[in-house]
Chains A and B, each alone.
Chain A
Amino acid sequence: MLDIQNLNVVFGTGRLRVEAVKNVSFHVEPGAAYGLVGESGSGKSTVLRAICGLAPITSGRVLVDGKEVTTPRSKAFYRTVQMVFQDPYASLHPRHTVDRTLSEPLAIHGEKKDAEARILQALREVGLGPSFRFRYPHQLSGGQRQRIAIARALILRPKVLLLDEPTSALDASVQAEILNLLDDLRRRLGLTYILVSHDLAVVAHLCERLLVMQHGEAVEETTADALRSGDASNAYTRSLIHASQGFTRVATQPAQAPAA
């Protein structure tokens, strides 16, 4: 479905030159979910942005459905690939109602005919009722906003969904709801996911295979099952696994005075 070959992304020139992504390659099968894990500055989000055209492809190839993408991307590309952003407070236009937000993609692609029915269906798919249709973003909670953002991405019936830290701005209980929704949608609509996250547990939950990145380079490609069994060959991956299990004291500390 998606083939990334020797992708390089460079920003700026001269002294300001930053190599954000260095020679990254991976392949995602149709209907699979692929994770990109790393810390800030690892280039994981840049890979995502390069795929959809928000960042330049300096060298290398990005193939969607076997065809190399063009710059600027064609309208057909946007009907195949859509993205969900990290911060649901920033990704919805503050002056547009849910209705306007969801009808915009239909209007852009000239599919106004049965817009109303499709908007209601999109709302239903993400677990929201028709009562949400004419609300403004400030009348929605963080989780509801993220659902609207997912509905907006799905309304054009894309095959690939790029997820950029879709739950990291949400509370733990809301994160669980969104993860369940994403899991369910993938199965029902046969979607292909690329998930970017700093949270190993989230990636392992949603994806079968994943790529660990550090300083713009691919460190290790592994599977969720391997992660679960703690089976990582790379030291950096191991340190990520370790850190994700919470804080551990190196040596036992002397006993504290108990609370009164």
Chain B
Amino acid sequence: MTKPLLDVEDLRVRFHLRTGTVEAVRGVSFQLGRERLGIVGESGSGKSQTGRAILGLTPPPGEVKAKRLAFDGIDLLTASKKTLRTLRGGRISMVMQDPKYSLNPVMTIGEQIIEAYQAHAKAGRGEARDRALAMLEAVKMRDPGRVFSLYPHEVSGGMGQRAMIAMMLVTEPDLLIADEPTSALDVTVSMEVLRILDELVTERGMGLIFISHDLKLVSSFCDRVLVMYAGRVVEELEAKNLREAQHPYTQGLMRCLPTLANDVRPLPTLNRDPSWAL
């Protein structure tokens, strides 16, 4: 049995607020190899906090606890800040929802990719520039040289998100966490972005955690899906076996979506059983 790339056991994220303690993630466990894992859930299910906790990006006053949180054998909970810094952005990268907020508005896209690369690899400026251009080409920018010298506000949402992916993949990470990478984009554009992401992940043999609210999208994109509800994983299943989902929440989530294929009226709604959250 090969060693998993990421090993998460009993991950808990707590927020100590004035009004009391809120547990956003309550004992999530999973292992990830070099595969595509989807985490699906509605707002407040703790899916995003799970992704952030892995990268150590839990916003204060959050507190992360786990029995095990190891990346490639390195314990992320006890690792030094320096180790974490080299891992983050180097071997583990994250793509956020909206490129508008995650790209630096006063730096050109090219500069940002170069900076990301030089932060983790000893490379001269010339080499970094070549890498950045190659990366922009890899995310199918029509004119990499032009995009290189553009500022984030000068590109469209889809291009911005592709630039973001280029920046995150330039260091050749082993694990990419994508948190709703396409939900700010139009459907046709998001399909294009996903296709690029899919190609790169497959080519480079990366592990991918794809966090989304869209069950249909995740199941069509990933190999394995974790369904989260109220901070817990209620069901884990192979994406292709989604139709055989056992948990009523997963079934409900699937059924309540209107589809072009069949016209159900009224749409079945989700009756939330309090026992799911236990």
Q: Which residues of A contact B (CB under 8 A)?
A: 39-40, 142, 171-173, 175-177, 179-180, 183-184, 198, 200-202, 204-205, 224, 227-228, 230, 239-241, 243-250, 253-254, 256-260
Contacts A171-B43, A180-B269; is A254 near B202 (CB within 8 Å)?
yes
Q: Does B198 contact A (CB under 8 A)?
A: yes
Q: Does B26 contact A (CB under 8 A)?
A: no
A39 and B35 within 8 A (CB)? no
Given contacts A176-B256, A243-B191, A260-B3, 13 further A-B contacts (CB under 8 A): A39-B186, A172-B214, A173-B269, A177-B269, A179-B258, A180-B266, A201-B258, A202-B258, A205-B258, A247-B220, A256-B34, A259-B4, A259-B224
Q: Does B187 contact A (CB under 8 A)?
A: yes
A245 to B195, CA, bound (A): 14
Q: Does B189 contact A (CB under 8 A)?
A: yes
B252 and A173 within 8 A (CB)? yes
Q: Which residues of B contact A (CB under 8 A)?
A: 1-4, 31-36, 42-43, 157, 186-191, 194-195, 198, 202, 205, 213-217, 219-221, 223-224, 252-253, 256-261, 263, 265-270
Report 24 cross-chain contacts, Cβ distance below 8 Å, ordered by A residue.
Answer: A39-B188, A142-B43, A172-B213, A172-B215, A173-B253, A173-B270, A176-B258, A176-B269, A180-B266, A198-B186, A201-B260, A204-B263, A205-B258, A205-B265, A228-B260, A240-B188, A246-B217, A246-B221, A247-B195, A256-B33, A257-B2, A257-B33, A258-B33, A259-B35
CB contacts (< 8 Å) of A254 on chain B: these are: 202
A173 to B268, CA, bound (A): 9
A121 to B276, CA, bound (A): 34
Which of B36, B215, B259 has a CB less than 8 Å from the CB of A201?
B259
A200 to B260, CA, bound (A): 8
A201 to B253, CA, bound (A): 15
CB contacts (< 8 Å) of B1 on chain A: these are: 260
CB contacts (< 8 Å) of B3 on chain A: these are: 260
**B163 shortest CB reach to chain A, Å:** 18
Q: Tell me the nearest residue of chain A to B219, going by C-beta.
A: A246
**B210 shortest CB reach to chain A, Å:** 10
CB contacts (< 8 Å) of A40 on chain B: these are: 157, 186
Contacts A171-B43, A173-B253, A247-B221; is A204 near B269 (CB within 8 Å)?
no
Contacts A39-B188, A198-B187, A243-B188; is A259 near B253 (CB within 8 Å)?
no
A184 to B269, CA, bound (A): 14
B216 and A246 within 8 A (CB)? yes
**A195 shortest CB reach to chain B, Å:** 12
CB contacts (< 8 Å) of B214 on chain A: these are: 172
CB contacts (< 8 Å) of A205 on chain B: these are: 258, 263, 265, 267
**B213 shortest CB reach to chain A, Å:** 7
A172 and B33 within 8 A (CB)? no
CB contacts (< 8 Å) of B269 on chain A: these are: 173, 176-177, 180
A228 and B261 within 8 A (CB)? yes
Q: Tell me the nearest residue of chain B to A177, going by C-beta.
A: B269
Q: Tell me the nearest residue of chain B to A228, going by C-beta.
A: B260
Q: Which of A172, A228, A241, A246 has the most CB of B within 10 A?
A: A172
**B161 shortest CB reach to chain A, Å:** 13
Which of A173, A244, A248 has a CB less than 8 Å from the CB of B260?
A244
CB contacts (< 8 Å) of A179 on chain B: these are: 258, 267
Contacts A176-B257, A243-B191; is A248 near B220 (CB within 8 Å)?
yes
**A196 shortest CB reach to chain B, Å:** 14
B259 and A253 within 8 A (CB)? no
Which of A142, A183, A246 has a CB less than 8 Å from the CB of B220?
A246
CB contacts (< 8 Å) of A244 on chain B: these are: 187, 260
A202 to B257, CA, bound (A): 8
CB contacts (< 8 Å) of A183 on chain B: these are: 265-266
Which of B2, B188, B258 has a CB less than 8 Å from the CB of A204?
B258
CB contacts (< 8 Å) of A239 on chain B: these are: 188
A239 to B257, CA, bound (A): 20
Contacts A39-B189, A228-B261, A243-B188; is A175 near B256 (CB within 8 Å)?
yes
Closest 8 CB pairs of A and B: A246-B220, A176-B256, A39-B186, A205-B258, A173-B270, A171-B42, A176-B267, A243-B187
A260 and B260 within 8 A (CB)? no
CB contacts (< 8 Å) of A260 on chain B: these are: 1-4, 31, 33
